[in-house]
Amino acid sequence: MGTISIEHGDRLFWLGRYAERVFSTLKALEDLYDNSIDGKPECYTDFLAKFGLADTYGSAKNFF
């Protein structure tokens, strides 16, 4: 097996970082959706607040 160039190593590093962010965000959304189903439909506003986003959806149904 050969060596990986610095450029390709850097690209793989950032690909891994972005993939981790996607999976972390999906996990958070999955937990949020579970809470919404369990009877806390307005909990999505806390999720939006963590990202500093305004609630333009109006309801959990529109958000999801």
* Structure confidence by residue, pLDDT tens digits, 3-61: 989 999 999 999 999 999 999 989 988 988 888 888 887 888 888 888 888 999 888 88
pTM over 0.75: no
The 10 Å Cβ neighbour count of residue 44 is 22
Distance CA 38, CA 41 (A): 8
DSSP state at residue 51: T
